[in-house]
Amino acid sequence: MMSTLLPASHRTPMKKHIFISYASADRAPVERLHERLKAEALPMWIDNLDVSEGLKAGQPWREGLAEALQTALAVVWVASPASMASPWVRAELQRTLELGKPLIPLVLDADFEQHPGWQETRAWQTQDGYLLGDLQRIVPAVLGEDLAYRKLVSQLYQQTQSARISGFFPSSQLDVPISGREVDLRAVEMLLREERRLVVLMALGGTGKTRLAAEIAARQRTFQDGVVWHRIESHSREIDLSYLIRDHLRLPVETNHDEVWEILGRCQVLIVLDNAESCTDIPNYARRLEHYGLAGGTRVLMTSRVQWRETRKINHIYELPAPDLKAATQIAHNMARQQGYADKLIGQEQPLAEAARCHPRLIQYAMGWLHDYEPTRVLTMLRTLKGGEDVEEALEDILHQTLRQIEASVGGEKAITDLKRLLVCRGGFTSEAAEAILSDLASLSLLRRWNLLHRDGERYQIDALVEAVLAPDETVHPAHYEYYKALAEMYDAKQDYAGLDAERDNLEVAFQWAMNAQDCAKAYLLYETCDDYVENRGRFDDMQAWIEAIDAGCRGRVNPAQQAYLDTSLGNMLVRLRKGDRLANLKRAIAYYEAALVYRTPTTTPIDYAETQRSLGTTYWQLAEVEARAANLNRAIACFEETLTYHTPVTAPMAYAMAQNNLGTAYIDLAEVEEQVVNLKRAIACFEIASEYYTPTTAPLSYAMTQSNLGLAYEVLAGLEERETNLRRAIAYLERASEYYTPVTAPLGYAMVQNNLGNTYWNLAKIEERAANLKRAITCYEEALVYHNPTTAPLEYAMTQANLGSTYQDLAEVEEHKANFKRAIACYQEALIYGTSTTSPLGYGAVQNNLGQTYAKLAKLEERTVNLKRAIACYEEALVYRTSSNAPLDYAATQNNLGLAYWYLADVEERGANLNQAVTCYEEALIYCTPTTAPLDYARTQHNLGLVYRDLKEKEKSKTSFQEAEKYYRLMGEVEKAEGALAQINWFVWWKILISIPVSVIRSVWKEFLLLLSLFLACAGASLFSVMWLWSHIGWAAGVIVAVVLIWLWWRLLKWFNWD
């Protein structure tokens, strides 16, 4: 007799975890390993340590152990002679391989391979056909304890990541074991390994498409970045899928949809589009499916009754056949066992499967009848269904018969009425929602028993075929609205926005009902309640649609306070909007904020007035990135200062701290274009005030933000004054920030702090411990890249790669010259892949500038002409984006570098032309790089200009440039460089000294002799004149000319030597 299981809905499934298989003799080292792995936030399960987390009350030990193995994400086998001798471990290994679980052998003792049992065990095969003996093993004795441990952790993280499933995964599909689909499973999995954009599981409704897809998703380990499950309903849109992918990949909420799909192409994700025949947004889905990148390994699996015409060029159709009689019989047996009818149906499984046309959905509906009727009655009903072999007509018939049977039963009429009421819900519902809409839950158990209602975790889902034949009861919309509005308020109070995400579809239903009912007040109140939620979850398209709907339908129909709130919300939406003309959106936002300020005044609503001023300031700050940088930054500062008049430490301390932080950020940016030192010190003062209210106790993450900003401000200030002191201050603040910005609490914030700390060590390396500080910087950048990766933060990844390149470039001047220059080039080229001229024009320009510098330096070691021309090409590309208007100091720096490249190239070819081109570049740089704006860079550029003038033989200009360089090098504490410039000035002095020595000797010893020689030559000229006069009158003129020329030459010589 077959045993009866509790229905799946009454069993609490064990959580997913990493299972450790080991022998009792190895318990001590395994317990130490267990503690270390749990500290990594990995979900672990060991029989004697995690029993309370796994075994349920009254559950037999070995049964619990078997379930723990069944639900494992992966299995770590602690291999040792004792484990080879343990029958339990060998049984666990065998079961692991049967289940297709990833197995990671951790070799505690390499002698285990000498155990007699190993020769048999090593030949066991994994589900993919690999031998157990061929699996890659982690051996601490070979790798070292630390490296082996990190390798193990890395592999376990990969397994937990690949097992992650986002979306509303139908876990209830897995309650009944899959039967008769082994061939289909292997075939579809093989197709997904091939380079195919879209694999379509196509079959009639109820054949098992979703069940097969769920099995593939649950057991897969090929897709290292996990699974995205997207059930398509008639209201589903492509942007819903984009949001789901964005959240699955843990991208910033600001990431726009195009960027999401671009990043997806570099990942390895399985996307499942279930129920695709219901889609009404096919063209937009098709556009994405046709163009996502295949290189990373992402693939799409679709289940549908029909083929999409729009994707016919990329479809690979897999026709899923109906199960054969043997498989259908097993399905009937499994379903009966799962629902507690196994004893009642025993011996009747095959007839029932045959009567149900071997169709899984018909079998499932039939199970509902077994509660009230004997198998013979159920068989008669199945055999008399309409449609004959037309399964879809039979499904519709059995559904109508089921509804009539329910209606005729005790409490059935109410159950059908309640079912219609629940149909207003979208995306499922919880028992609390059902109670609010129905007043009691009595109908739920009846509907579930008839398989018209399913439960996945905490949520109920109505059967898709029911939705097709019953109309919802629209009269329950007010109750639906009130419940979900109250729920949104509760989650908003807790700031649990991720928890509210599951109800997004129901919130949309509530909002649309309010708008259709022309109840502007209700629509407005729901938007106001959900405002922070949609911002936090980055659902900016939803935000835009709601606000614009209210604005179009309700403007003039709400009170002034609500209109002002609406205008502020419209402004906020436009600021966050990632599509369209950014400049136009920001200016429209400013207009909305100014409209809100007509009502929100310091007199009527001072707190709201301050909040709107802060939003206006933030918008001007962003506008400064696009146009009129100084003017818009000053406008932003004025708004923030106005905010601080009403957001005071007494009335709103946290808002006051935020405004101070924003003001400090604006001053840092303003320091790039005017009054550098003054504005940086103003920024520091603002951040210090913010830190008085953002404390580690009251707001640890905000405190970390202000400490990070202080570090950044001091790092920039170090380039202008007190270099070493300010760099050390920057390091102290950044290290303090990293105490609260941790990889757990704020991974991206932690990465940013590590990046800035790297920058500070890089700058400190210019003063002391050059190699040591550069290597510290490299360590910081590499730590940042763990969290600033191309998937989660592509622009930040590009920035950190660029900084790493700069550090390798500088390290190349100390050690491993050629190798480090090439490492730098590789980093810069990697940065340019993700920080493009479109996504980050200024960043792109900076990387091109740095890449040019590296090529110029590499030119001293190899391929001189080629690398110099590469450098010039990079600088010229950089100047397309680093212009004198948007980044004057950066523009000057690149002009300086371009001048250097031309100076170097002048040694190889076209000397005069290239030297003159260098002068042009330096003079252009000095227009923007002045002693006030950037004294150190001014000194460098003057020094370089002096060298070029020297080569052009323009001695006075060269001397002037070197004198300017020496003056400002010394002012900035660069003593060594100042001495270098002074040496260039002294070169002229020493040259004149060397010439003047023989002249002085001549002046002191031979003066009389030279005077006599001059008289002699004059006499000789006179004599020549006399002779020529005597010879011929014609020679007289020639004699005069000769005499005059001789006298002039001697006069010039005497003047040159400065003789009296």
Q: Which of 136-145, 218-227, 769-778 has the highest mean pLDDT?
A: 769-778
- Residue 827: pLDDT over 60: yes
Average pLDDT over residues 225-238: 90
- Residue 534: pLDDT over 90: no
DSSP-assigned beta bridge partners for residue 511: none
C-alpha to C-alpha distance for 530 and 507, rounded to whole angstroms: 9
Q: Give residue 586's region: left, alpha or beta (phi > 0; psi -120 to 50).
A: alpha
Average pLDDT over residues 532-551: 80
How many CB atoms are located within 10 Å of the residue 548 CB? Answer: 12
Q: Which helix (H) or strand (E) holds 849?
A: helix 841-858
DSSP-assigned beta bridge partners for residue 74: 18
In this prediction, residue 56 carries a pLDDT of 40
**Closest alpha carbon to 27 in 83, 93, 103, 73:** 83
Residues near 769 by Cβ (< 8 Å), separated by ≥ 6? none
Kindly tell me the burial class for residue 1031, based on how many C-beta atoms sit within 10 Å of its own C-beta (0-12, 13-18, 19 or more): exposed
Q: Which of 95-99, 157-161, 287-291, 795-799 has the highest mean pLDDT?
A: 287-291
Residues near 738 by Cβ (< 8 Å), separated by ≥ 6? 704, 750, 753, 754, 757
Average pLDDT over residues 587-602: 92
Q: Which residue would you say has higher pLDDT here, 395 or 118?
A: 395
Q: Give residue 72's region: left, alpha or beta (phi > 0; psi -120 to 50).
A: beta
In this prediction, residue 553 carries a pLDDT of 82
DSSP-assigned beta bridge partners for residue 40: none
- Residue 527: pLDDT over 50: yes
In this prediction, residue 1042 carries a pLDDT of 56
In this prediction, residue 66 carries a pLDDT of 67
In this prediction, residue 749 carries a pLDDT of 81
In this prediction, residue 1005 carries a pLDDT of 45
- Residue 9: pLDDT over 80: no
**Closest alpha carbon to 253 in 536, 542, 572:** 536
In this prediction, residue 989 carries a pLDDT of 46
**Do 201 and 187 touch, CB atoms closer than 8 A?**
no
Q: Which residue would you say has higher pLDDT here, 285 or 79?
A: 285
Q: Which residue would you say has higher pLDDT here, 955 or 383?
A: 383
Q: Which residue would you say has higher pLDDT here, 143 or 943?
A: 943
Q: Which of 206-215, 496-505, 530-539 has the highest mean pLDDT?
A: 206-215
**Closest alpha carbon to 488 in 468, 477, 504, 473:** 504
Q: Which residue would you say has higher pLDDT here, 821 or 37?
A: 821
Q: Comparing 17-31, 118-132, 937-951, 1034-1048, which segment has the lowest mean pLDDT?
A: 1034-1048
Residue length, the chain? Answer: 1060
Tokens (6 digits) for 537: 């979850």
Q: Which residue would you say has higher pLDDT here, 1001 or 183?
A: 183
DSSP-assigned beta bridge partners for residue 273: 230, 302
DSSP-assigned beta bridge partners for residue 227: 165, 270
In this prediction, residue 471 carries a pLDDT of 92
How many CB atoms are located within 10 Å of the residue 175 CB? Answer: 19
Helix axes 794-811, 841-858, angle to 10 degrees: 20
Kindly tell me the burial class for residue 744, based on how many C-beta atoms sit within 10 Å of its own C-beta (0-12, 13-18, 19 or more): exposed
Q: Comparing 146-160, 475-489, 737-751, which segment has the lowest mean pLDDT?
A: 146-160
Kindly tell me the burial class for residue 256, based on how many C-beta atoms sit within 10 Å of its own C-beta (0-12, 13-18, 19 or more): middle
In this prediction, residue 210 carries a pLDDT of 93
C-alpha to C-alpha distance for 817 and 804, rounded to whole angstroms: 16
Average pLDDT over residues 119-131: 67
| pLDDT class of 402 with cuts at 50, 70, 90 | very high
Q: pLDDT tens for residues 728-769?
A: 999 999 988 888 887 766 777 888 888 889 989 998 998 888
| Gyration radius from the chain CA atoms | 40
Q: pLDDT tens for residues 903-946?
A: 999 888 888 898 999 999 999 999 988 888 888 888 889 998 98
In this prediction, residue 1020 carries a pLDDT of 59
Q: pLDDT tens for residues 764-811?
A: 998 888 888 999 899 888 888 877 777 667 778 888 889 999 899 899
**Closest alpha carbon to 75 in 120, 50, 53, 44:** 44
C-alpha to C-alpha distance for 154 and 164, rounded to whole angstroms: 16
Tokens (6 digits) for 116: 């007699």
In this prediction, residue 475 carries a pLDDT of 94
In this prediction, residue 79 carries a pLDDT of 86
DSSP 22: -
Average pLDDT over residues 574-588: 79
C-alpha to C-alpha distance for 27 and 20, rounded to whole angstroms: 11
C-alpha to C-alpha distance for 458 and 502, rounded to whole angstroms: 11
Residue 982 φ/ψ, nearest 5 degrees: -60, -40
**Do 363 and 335 touch, CB atoms closer than 8 A?**
yes
In this prediction, residue 1033 carries a pLDDT of 52
Percent of the chain past pLDDT 90, that is, above it, reads 32
**Do 562 and 524 touch, CB atoms closer than 8 A?**
yes
Kindly tell me the burial class for residue 962, based on how many C-beta atoms sit within 10 Å of its own C-beta (0-12, 13-18, 19 or more): buried
| pLDDT class of 1037 with cuts at 50, 70, 90 | low
Q: Comparing 677-681, 915-919, 957-961, 1044-1048, which segment has the lowest mean pLDDT?
A: 1044-1048
| pLDDT class of 580 with cuts at 50, 70, 90 | low
Mark out the alpha helices in 972-1006 (DSSP H runs): 975-1005
Q: Which residue would you say has higher pLDDT here, 623 or 578?
A: 623
- Residue 668: pLDDT over 50: yes
**Do 242 and 579 touch, CB atoms closer than 8 A?**
no
Q: Which of 64-68, 72-76, 677-681 has the highest mean pLDDT?
A: 677-681
Residues near 911 by Cβ (< 8 Å), separated by ≥ 6? none
- Residue 612: pLDDT over 90: yes
Q: Comparing 307-311, 639-643, 808-812, 972-976, which segment has the lowest mean pLDDT?
A: 972-976
Q: Which residue would you say has higher pLDDT here, 467 or 639?
A: 639
- What is the rounded average pLDDT for all residues in the chain? 82
Three-class DSSP labels, 102-139 = CEEEEECCHHHHHCHHHHHHCCCECCCCCEHHHCCCEC
Amino acid at 879: L
Helix (H, G, I), strand (E, B) or coil at 496: coil
* Residue where the block lists tokens 């997904």: 192
**Closest alpha carbon to 238 in 271, 303, 284:** 284
- Residue 328: pLDDT over 90: yes
Q: Which residue would you say has higher pLDDT here, 891 or 66?
A: 891
**Do 44 and 73 touch, CB atoms closer than 8 A?**
no
Q: Comparing 63-67, 241-245, 781-785, which segment has the lowest mean pLDDT?
A: 63-67
Q: Which residue would you say has higher pLDDT here, 249 or 318?
A: 318
Q: Comparing 160-169, 341-350, 551-560, 799-808, which segment has the lowest mean pLDDT?
A: 160-169
- Residue 1019: pLDDT over 70: no
In this prediction, residue 1058 carries a pLDDT of 41
